[in-house]
């Protein structure tokens, strides 16, 4: 009888712990939103500072608006298979936006065929629309590219691109949505 009681007690404790963790995530997200908002107010008071409004959502909120594959790529730093994305060989004229927050990320005018199987660009739409971070996963040293508004993982940037930058922004199609321009 005591072994059964101990198992029930362990399940109850586990359930309560999970509930507190999930509630804590919402609190963390809300605290992060407040900090970003306060920092934005401080910085925008300084003359000449142009900041993007940050988009901060919980995992639960991201899962509601993204497909499972988009979520895996953008929120969990995944990678789609080479030559599988709809934009790797796409030739239309327009703007590639973040699938998570709709920020302009890349222009078709700066797209080129790298032969790698992913959409490749030699420069972003605007330097302040993307940011980079060190990525040492998979036993490699790479530079990750993220959306500067919502921190979505977009892909990686390499120093083997064409002039004028010499950069190759290798981006997952699932992290993008295309808007045609006339």
The Cα 165–Cα 157 span in angstroms is 11
Is 150 an annotated catalytic residue? Answer: no
Runs of H (alpha helix) within 46-173: 59-65, 68-76
- Strand ranges in 34-140 using DSSP code E only, listed in sequence order: 94-98, 104-107, 111-112, 120-121, 130-135
**Can you read off the two tokens belonging to residue 123?**
């420069």
Strand order in the sheet with 176-180: 104-107, 94-98, 176-180
Nearest to 166 by CA among 104, 120, 106: 120
Which two tokens mark 150?
Answer: 């919502």
Catalytic residue among 98, 100, 101, 170: 170
Closest Cα to residue 76, out of 100, 106, 52? 100
CA gap 45, 71 in Å, rounded: 35
Q: Given the structure tokens 């973040």, which residue do they identify? A: 98
Catalytically active residues are: 170
């Amino acid at each position: 009888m005591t072994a059964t009681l101990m198992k029930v007690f362990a399940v109850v404790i586990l359930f309560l712990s999970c509930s507190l963790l999930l509630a804590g995530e919402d609190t963390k997200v809300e605290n992060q939103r407040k900090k970003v908002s306060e920092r934005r107010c401080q910085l925008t008071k300084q003359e000449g500072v142009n900041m993007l409004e940050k988009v901060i959502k919980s995992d639960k909120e991201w899962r509601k608006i993204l497909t499972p594959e988009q979520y895996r790529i953008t929120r969990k730093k995944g990678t789609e298979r080479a030559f599988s994305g709809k934009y790797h060989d796409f030739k239309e004229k327009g703007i590639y936006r973040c699938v998570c927050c709709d920020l302009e990320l890349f222009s078709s005018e700066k797209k080129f065929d790298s032969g790698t199987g992913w959409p490749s660009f030699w420069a972003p739409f605007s330097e302040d629309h993307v940011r980079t971070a060190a990525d040492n996963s998979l036993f490699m040293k790479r530079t990750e590219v993220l959306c500067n508004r919502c921190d979505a993982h977009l892909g990686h940037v390499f120093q083997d691109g064409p002039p004028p930058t010499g950069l190759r922004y290798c981006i997952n199609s699932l992290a993008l949505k295309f808007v045609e321009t006339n």
